Amino acid sequence: MIIAEETVLIPGLTAKPTRRGFVSVDLAPAADPIALTPEVMDAEKQRLGCIRQPDGTWRLSWRWRKEYERDFTAQQGKPVFDSEGLVLQEPRLWNPLYRMDLDESGKKLVRKDRGRLLVFIEPSAPPPQPLPTGIETVTRSCGIGMDVSEGVGASDSTIEVFFADTKEQAAELADNEIKPADLGRFAAAVARFYNYALVCCVRRMHGITTIRTMLDECRYGHLWHHHLADRPNEKRAASLGWAGDETSELLFGRWIDAIQHDETQLHSLACWQQHQQYIYDAAGRIVHQERANLPRDVRERHGDRVIGCALAYRACLDLPWVKASQKRVAPIGSLLHRRQEAERKKSKSEAW
C-alpha cells in the first residue's frame, strides 16, 4: 500500500507522507491491544510516575508522555532536581558558623565578619560515624568544586566544599566580582584550610586562568584530572579540570541522582534555592530557567552554585573517605596497649 495522504491503517497506527519522501508512522499503544492491555498500561503508568486521582483518572507524568504518548518535548520546563529530594534537604539548611576571607598576605584564611567564604562545618569536625577501635582522630578528605565567571558582576564564581565521607556541604563562596586569577588564590587557601582538598574546577573559558594561578603562583597541585575511561586501562589525561559541558549528563547526572536518593547534605539556603531553578529545555538539555530562552552559548557562561556542587561531588567520588588517621596512644599496661602489642607481634610474625 503506497501512502499518498495521512491514513489510519488500524486504530493506533497512522501513516503519512512527508516532504522528505519518508513515510512517517505513528505507532500508539492502541495498535497492539493484545500485549498492551488496560491492566498492563495501568501498571506502566504507575511505574512511570503517573498519579491516580480520586476520581479514577490519571495525572500523567512527563516520562509517560514521552515513552507512550510519543511527546518529544514532554520534559520541557520540568524541574531537573526531584522536588521530593529537595524537600529532604530543607531541615538541614542552617546559617554559617562564621565567615572567612583572605588576610593581608592573600594566602591564608582568617575570620572576618563580612568574609566571602561561608563556613558551615570546620575541617577538623569529627566524622559522624564512630571511629574504629584504637583510632583517635582522622583527617577527613574534602572535595572542592569551582565554577568560574568573568568577575564583571554578571554571573557568580563559586567555590563549594564537600566532605568526601558524608558528601556534606562544608563551605561555600559565591561572588560575581572576583576575577578568575583571584579566585585561584582564594581557592588554594580554601583547599589548604580544608585538609588539602581535591579541587575540581571547570576548565573552559576562564577556568584555565584559575587553574594556572593555583598551579604556578600558589603551588597547589592537588587538582582533579580528567581520566580517559574509553581506553582498556584508564589513563590520566594531561588536561586538568573539568573539560566537558558543565550541565552535561556526565557531570549533572550523578549530582541529580545524589539529590534524589538523599546521598548528600546541603546547608546553604541560596544553594538549595538555586537547585529549584534548573529545568529541562525543549531539547532535553539542562538549563537555568532564567536563561532557558537565551542562545546556547550565552547559557554556557552562566556559573553558579549548583555547578560548583556537582563538581565538588565529582571530586568527592574520586577521594578516599579519610586522608590520615592517628592511632590512640594507649598507656602502658592498659588493655588497649596489650591489644596493640598483640596485633603488632602478630603482624610481625606473619610478615615474610
Applying CB under 8 A, the residues found at the interface with other proteins are 1-3, 9-10, 12-13, 15-16, 18-29, 31-32, 34-36, 44, 66-74, 282-284
3-state secondary structure of 342: helix
Min separation Cβ 63 and other proteins, Å: 11
Three-class DSSP category at 280 = strand
Give whichever of 21 and 130 is closer to other proteins, judged by the CB atom.
21
Which among 275, 269, 266 is positioned nearest to 304, based on CA atoms? Answer: 275
Residue where the block lists cell 610478615:
351
Distance separating alpha carbons of residues 45 and 77, to the nearest angstrom: 21
Listed in sequence order, the residues at least 6 apart from 213 whose beta carbon sits closer than 8 Å to its beta carbon are: 180, 181, 183, 184, 185, 188
Name the grid cell of 237.
589525561
Minimum distance from CB of 284 to other proteins (Å)? Answer: 4
Q: Compute the least distance from the CB of residue 67 to other proteins, in Å.
A: 5
Q: Closest CB to other proteins among 287 and 312?
A: 287
Q: Which amino acid is at 133?
A: T
Give DSSP secondary structure letters for 252-263: HHHHHHHHHTT-
Shortest Cβ distance from residue 282 to other proteins (Å)? 6
What is the phi/psi pair of residue 333, to 5°?
Answer: 95, -15
One-letter amino acid for residue 220 of the chain:
Y
Q: In the bound complex, what is the minimum distance in angstroms from residue 28's beta carbon to other proteins?
A: 6
Nearer to other proteins, 117 or 256 (CB): 256
Cα gap 240→256, rounded to integer Å: 24
Q: Shortest gap between Cβ of 2 and other proteins (angstroms)?
A: 5
**Which CB sits closer to other proteins, 69 or 217?**
69
Say if CB 218 and CB 185 are below 8 A apart: yes
Q: Which is nearer to other proteins, 32 or 262 (CB)?
A: 32
Q: Which is nearer to other proteins, 49 or 221 (CB)?
A: 49
The DSSP bridge partners found for residue 14 are 8, 26
Q: Nearest approach, Cβ of 190 to other proteins (angstroms)?
A: 37
Query: Between residues 74 and 211, which has the closer beta carbon with respect to other proteins?
Result: 74
Is residue 41 classed exposed, middle or buried when 0-12, 13-18 and 19+ CB atoms within 10 A define those classes?
A: middle
Asked whether the beta carbons of 171 and 120 are under 8 A apart, the reply is yes
